[in-house]
Amino acid sequence: MILDMRQVRKAFGGLVAVNNVDLTVQQGTIHAIIGPNGAGKTTFFNCVTALNPADSGEIVFEGTRIERLPTHIINRKGIARTFQNIRLFPYLSVLQNVVVGTHNQSSAGILASVLHTPRFREEERQMVEFAMSLLQQTGLVDKKDIYARNLPYGDQRRLEIARAMAGRPKVLLLDEPAAGMNTTETSSLEAFIRRLKDDGLTVVLIEHDMKLVMSIADVVSVIDHGVKIAEGTAETVQNDERVIEAYLGKRKDT
């Protein structure tokens, strides 16, 4: 159990986006969260990363409570994420985007930066090297010098993952990583996520592409209207009547 959420609740005005949800993520698993649009999945991620801190409830990461910590500290503790509506730094190059991601891995201060101390240069070299290795893994190495905004959609998604990985997280939160990808892109993404798991990373993933979810998720949680309505392996969830209803709407017999 690396990440444990208890009774997390978040409301915007009158709308309760996340309603007392419990969720436990086991170390080294791929945990998918699915549910229709507007179900509160992204809000849930925002609670974990404190972009929209939860109104109540506890979030425990590796045994410590993190729900009151600011976003950047949570990231430093080892939780990284991507965004549903891609939030790259559009006018930074692909490589620079990933190097920014290594922020929590480095420590050079102003003085070192300005004086170009040997330690600074060594650190910079390591950061770039690490970033390059991530680009290698995500297949973006040829595009390292172009502006992030000029990448095709699928590449932007991959770059976001590479950037999140640059902080060497223990848990990676992916918000619809396959959205807008075609089938080949999706299958290479699938392989990539599997590799991350093999490397010991825990992945929490919000996804609409059911094929992807069903093939890689160890555990699937279903959220609808801010409430967790089902949880289990892909097969169990798939055949759950409430899940089908939540997705396709109530089946009317015609």
Partner 1 sequence: MRLLEVQDLVVYYGHINALKGISLSLSEGHFVTLIGANGAGKTTLLNTITGGVQATSGSVLFREEPILNERSDLIVRKGIAHVPEGRKVFPELTVEENLRVGAYSIPQKKKVAELLALNFDLFPRLAERRRQEGGTLSGGEQQMLAIARALMSDPEVLLLDEPSLGLAPLLVEKIFEFIVQVNKLGKSILLVEQNANLALHVASYGYVLETGRVVKEGPAADLLRDDAVRKAYLGIA
Partner 2 sequence: MKLKSIRPAFVSFVLRYRVPFAILLGVLLVAYPWIVRNPYLLRVATNVGIAIILASSLNIIIGFSGLFSLGHAAFYGIGAYTSALLATRLGVPFWLGFPAAGIVAGLFGTFIGFATLRLRAVFLAFTTLGFGEITRIVILNWRDFTRGPLGIAGIPVPRLFGWSFTREANYYLILLLCAAVILFVYRIYHSRLGRALIAIREDETAARSMGINVFGYKILAFTIACTIAGLAGSFFAHFQRYVSADSFVADESFRIITMVALGGTGSITGPIVGAMILELFPEVFGFLAGYRQVIYGAVLITVIVLKPGGIVGVKGVFEKPRATRRSWIAQALLPRFNGGTR
Q: Measure Cα distances from 207 to 31, 222, 237 in Å.
A: 11, 11, 14
Phi first, then psi, for residue 134 (nearest 5°) are -70, -40
Q: Work out what residue 167 binds among partner 2, partner 1, none; the CB cut-off runs from 5 to 8 Å by kind.
A: partner 2
| 172 or 213: CB nearest partner 2 | 172
Is residue 254 at the binding interface for partner 1, with CB under 8 A as the rule? Answer: yes
Is residue 238 at the binding interface for partner 1, with CB under 8 A as the rule? Answer: yes
**Least Å from the CB of residue 197 to partner 1:** 20
Identify the residue whose tokens are 């990284």: 80
Which position among 106, 126, 136, 233 is part of the footprint of partner 2 (CB under 8 A)?
A: 106
Q: What is the rounded distance in angstroms from the CA atom of residue 195 to the CA atom of residue 100?
A: 23
Is residue 87 at the binding interface for partner 1, with CB under 8 A as the rule? Answer: no
Query: Element (H or E) spanning 165, and its range?
Result: helix 153-165
Contacts of 164 (CB under 8 A, 6+ apart): 80, 81, 82, 101, 172
Is residue 71 at the binding interface for partner 2, with CB under 8 A as the rule? Answer: yes
| 119 or 149: CB nearest partner 1 | 149
Helix axes 118-138, 94-101, angle to 10 degrees: 110
Q: What is the rounded distance in angstroms from the CA atom of residue 59 to the CA atom of residue 64?
A: 8
Query: Element (H or E) spanning 138, and its range?
Result: helix 118-138
Q: Total number of residues binding partner 1 (CB under 8 A)?
A: 33
Q: Work out what residue 16 binds among partner 2, partner 1, none; the CB cut-off runs from 5 to 8 Å by kind.
A: none
The residues that touch partner 2, with contacts defined as CB under 8 A, are 49, 51, 70-72, 75-76, 80-81, 83, 87-92, 96, 99-101, 103-104, 106, 108-110, 113-114, 116, 120, 123-124, 127, 147, 149, 163, 167
Contacting residues toward partner 1, per CB under 8 A = 14-15, 36-38, 149-153, 156, 176, 179-182, 208-211, 213-214, 225, 238, 244-245, 247-252, 254
